Structure formats: structure tokens, C-alpha cells
Chain A
Amino acid sequence: MTNTAPEQARAALDAVDRARRQVADQVGLPRGYWWVMAAGWLGLGVLGSVSPWLGGTAAAVFGAGHGTLASRLLAGRRRTDGLRVSAAVAGRRTPVVVVGMLVGLVGVTVLAALALHADGAEHASIWAAVLVAAVIGFGGPDILRVLRRWARA
């Protein structure tokens, strides 16, 4: 039997909770994922500018490729090669949050392109894609972190 006092037990439980939260902070997607996504976004913007039909087809192929290639990453358990977060800690909502975020960014891209076009800008879809690609490349990990917190994922 132990002589551990309740205060010591509480402190030990706090240490356990802290360690778990530190591992939970590692949930996310690898940095390379965001840069590849940004490059893809830019490419789709350029193709959409050349031909809407080509852009639409490329977007469908890109979406299917993303679903296949990134499916292992979307759970958010492999952000670094330093550890793999357990499924229990990573939760089940991260893939939904990532896909929801990407759908939202598609909407932002379309709205930005329409606004730029209405303003008379040439190559509106390319500039809209550049804007959103920069947001994804530089801010993807932070946006996902905030969205996960909102979704309690």
C-alpha cells in the first residue's frame, strides 16, 4: 500500500494530464503537406485561368489524388517523425476539420476571384489562387490548430 498524500496524487495526475496535452499539441499535418497543397492551389488557379473546363477537371483529379495520398495524414497523428499520436488522443474529427477547411478555402478562392474580376483585374483566378495559396502555405498549420480547438477535435 502507498503512503501517497492526496496532494501528491493530485500533483501526479496534473503531470499526467500535462504530458498528454503536450502529445495532443503534436496533432496536425506535416509542414510539407501545406506547401504541396499551396503549390496545387496555385496550379489549379493557373489552369482555371487558361480554361475553366481544364481547371474543373484538374480540381477533380487533385481532390481525388488528395483523398488517396493524404488519407493517412489526415488523422493528424503523423505531423512529425518524432512520434505517432495515439488514435484516442488525436480524436476522430481532425480529417473532417481538414476537409472542411479546404472546402471553405475553395469558397474564399471563388469569392476572391469574383471580387477581383468585378474590380477589373486581369487573371483574377490566378491572383485569387496566389492569395489563398499563401494563406495555406504560411498559415495552414495555425488555421487548422484554431479550427480543431473550435471543433473540439
Chain B
Amino acid sequence: MTKARFDELIHPSTRLTLVATLAAADWAEFAFLKEQLGLSESALSKQLATLEEAGYVATERRPSGGRRKVRARLTTAGRDAFDGHVAALQAIVTGATTPAESPAARS
């Protein structure tokens, strides 16, 4: 069972989509992420750098056809943080809709 833990670093919408995309993949190329998220190169680099600094994402440069491609993946810490954040979001939604919590149920 994943422990719910709201993560302020992951929560901003762009970063949440980026982490959710990486969570569904073993790894993703920079170009793929840029297209999926509709971000500029500098914006995506900044988001990845923030996540990498927190230890949530690891990037590596791989040679490909004379060029070097950047590949990103979620680390174990990043995956745990994402799972905890999703559990926290679900708890917020569930808490708001649980009958026991509603005023009508309490009265």
C-alpha cells in the first residue's frame, strides 16, 4: 500500500504531467517529452533539472547517429514520490466525497 504524501515539487501541472508520463514509461527521449508536453527546449530542460536536483529523475546522454540524445527516466525515489502524491490526491478527492464526512451524515 502506497503511503499518501502530497508532494509540492511534483504538483505544478506541467511537472505533474511530465512525471506522470515518465511514470508510465521505462524511459523517454527529450524530443518525445517536448512534443507530448508541448514545451520549449529550455522549459523542458528547466523542469527536468528541477526534478533531477530533487533526485526524482535521472538523465543520460546517449550517442545516436552522430548526435547525442537525452533520455530521462524516473528514479525509484521519483516513482515513490509520484505514487505517494497520487495517493494523496485520491485521498483529498475521496475525503470530499465520503458520506461519513458530509454534514448530512454527521447530523
Contacts and interface: CB of A to CB of B under 8 A. Distances in A.
Given A6-B93, A86-B26, A89-B25, A22 B6 contact: no
Chain B interface residue bracket vs A: 20 to 34
B40 interface: no
A9 interface: yes
A16 interface: yes
Contacts, number: 84
Contacts of A81: 29
Given A15-B13, A16-B20, 16 more contacts: A2-B92, A6-B93, A6-B96, A6-B97, A10-B93, A12-B13, A12-B89, A13-B93, A16-B86, A16-B89, A19-B21, A20-B20, A24-B24, A82-B28, A84-B28, A86-B25
7 contacts: A1-B6, A4-B11, A6-B92, A10-B93, A13-B89, A22-B36, A83-B26
A73 to B, nearest CB: 15
A141 B14 CA distance: 30
B21 A23 contact: yes
B93 A86 contact: no
Binding site of B, secondary structure by majority: helix, strand, loop or mixed? helix
Interface of B: 6, 8, 11, 13, 16-17, 20-21, 23-29, 31-32, 36, 86, 88-90, 92-93, 95-97
A15 B17 contact: yes
B8 A2 contact: yes
